[in-house]
Amino acid sequence: MILRRLAKSLKQQNWTTILIEFVLLVGGVFLGIQAANWNQQRAEDAKAQAYLARIRGNLEADQLSIQRREVFWPQVNAYGKAAIHYAETGELVDGSAWRTVLAFYQASQLWQWVTSDSTYQEMRSGGELGLIRDDTLRHALSEYYLESGSAVDYLFYLQPEYRKIVRGLTPSVVANHIWAKCWRQPTPTEQYLLDCDSPVSEAEARAVLAGYMKNSDLLPELRFWVANQDVSLNVIGNYKPVLKAMLAREKAQVAQ
């Protein structure tokens, strides 16, 4: 309609009308582009907010899983050190052969840890990391999920050889009792180690210990596993302030 009127005005050389029609035409085009850009920006903002909410959920899940491993891993580590002490000195744990057997077995417990990175990887594969407009947050997420990956894989996802050795040397009656009475998992994301009474006599427990000590690989592998846990506990603790800082920046971006 505007173009038709503009063409008619040009034929009539009605310059005032031509100017008005031209301004209306340009203004309409500009407003249309602005409306399209505004709608696109609104859609991107909504997508960014949804991603940020999911990232917050992932980071909070990591916080919780770290807290729980900082309870479980020291239990395993303490059992391992008690078992090493017996192997090196012959001194029973609390003077009990059974509690010493329990220490060897509980030292093999495993609760691996990996970051909750599903949202970040989805954004990365879709080329949408730019939706995170906070450069500091985007860089921190990259370091957290990508650059620390090798440490996570090696330290926190290790399958120790000691676990295979000691479990292969432990009689079924002992292992089954430990799983039934000396370990608890109240939820899929929680587990705890417990003290428990012995299913065997002290003499039988001593025989189990003798079997452990006959294996030349058991003690070196246990030492390695305990050392790895010491390092893991230190390293995983370093993630807590990183997570806290990222959550604070995520909250600030959402508030913008």
Instruction: Give the model confidence (pLDDT) of 7-63 as tens digits.
Output: 555 455 555 655 565 555 566 666 566 655 565 667 677 888 888 999 999 999 999
Per-residue pLDDT averaged across 95-107, rounded? 98
Structure tokens at 86: 């017996």
Structure tokens at 131: 């939706």
The predicted pLDDT at position 188 comes to 84
255 has a pLDDT exceeding 90 = no
